[in-house]
Amino acid sequence: MIPNNLKHSVCEITLQNNLNSVSLIGNSTAIQEVFMRIAEQFKAMFRRQAFLQWYTNQGMDEMEFAEAESNVLDLVSEYQQYQDMFVDQEEQEEESQNTLQTCDKGQY
């Protein structure tokens, strides 16, 4: 998958009155659905130019919004690429296991 994608640390000092504590941070491609929903909502609002004058009055350019949308869509595309790669690997593993099972039964 993504090399060196995990960083961790352990704190040996527990919080007062707590014997144990745990934290979990997961790296998942499911976040792409959230980014896609945000991109769709942005597109609808940008098309109507809702609230746009607030930002342009403060010095922002409309092209900055188009660039931001492009960046989010690129991010979604990258997450989709990793998800597809993972699914392809799972399918290959299943196929190889099915082939091994068929060979073990003498049906190859």
Q: Which amino acid does the sequence have at 102? A: T
Cα 19 to Cα 10, 24, 97, distances in angstroms: 15, 17, 44
pLDDT digits (tens, 9 = 90+) for 11-30: 777 778 877 777 777 777 88
Say what the alpha-carbon torsion angle 9, 11, 15, 17 is, to the nearest 10 degrees. Answer: 110
Q: Which amino acid does the sequence have at 34? A: V
pLDDT digits (tens, 9 = 90+) for 43-85: 999 999 999 999 999 999 999 999 999 999 999 999 999 888 8
Q: Are 80 and 29 in contact (CB under 8 A)?
A: yes
| Domains of the chain from N-terminus onward | 31-103 (1.10.287.600)
| Number of neighbours of residue 67 by Cβ within 10 angstroms | 11
Tell me, yes or no, if the pTM score tops 0.75: no
